[in-house]
Amino acid sequence: MTMDTLQELYLEQLQDIYDAEKQLTKALPKMAKTATNDELKAAFEQHLEQTEEHVSRLERIFEELGEKPKGKKCKAMQGLIEEGKEMMEEDASEEVMDAGLIGAAQKVEHYEIATYGTLRTYAEMLGFDDQADLLQETLDEEKDTDENLTELAVSCVNLEAEEGEDEEDEGEEEEGGKSEEKGQPVKGRK
Residue with smaller CB distance to Fe ion, 21 or 95: 21
Interatomic CA distance for residues 70 and 16, integer angstroms:
9
Distance of closest approach, residue 129 Cβ to Fe ion, in angstroms: 21
Contacting Fe ion (CB under 5 A), which of 10, 11, 54, 61? 54
* CA quadruple 174, 175, 181, 182: dihedral sign: negative
Interatomic CA distance for residues 27 and 35, integer angstroms:
13
Distance of closest approach, residue 127 Cβ to Fe ion, in angstroms: 24
Distances, alpha carbon 187 to alpha carbons 28, 91, 118, in Å: 23, 19, 29
Residue with smaller CB distance to Fe ion, 18 or 128: 18
What residues numbered 20-39 form the site for Fe ion, per CB under 5 A?
A: none
Residue whose C-alpha is closest to residue 65's, from 28, 118, 116, 12: 12
Site string for Fe ion, 66-105 (x = CB under 5 A): ----------------------------------------
Size of the site for Fe ion (CB under 5 A): 4
Interatomic CA distance for residues 95 and 181, integer angstroms:
12
Within 10 A of 153 (CB to CB), how many other CB atoms are there?
A: 25
Could you say whether residue 112 binds Fe ion (CB under 5 A)? yes
Distance of closest approach, residue 138 Cβ to Fe ion, in angstroms: 6
Distance of closest approach, residue 141 Cβ to Fe ion, in angstroms: 7
Could you say whether residue 120 binds Fe ion (CB under 5 A)? no
Interatomic CA distance for residues 19 and 47, integer angstroms:
17
Residue with smaller CB distance to Fe ion, 19 or 95: 19
Tell me which residues touch Fe ion (CB under 5 A): 51, 54, 112, 142
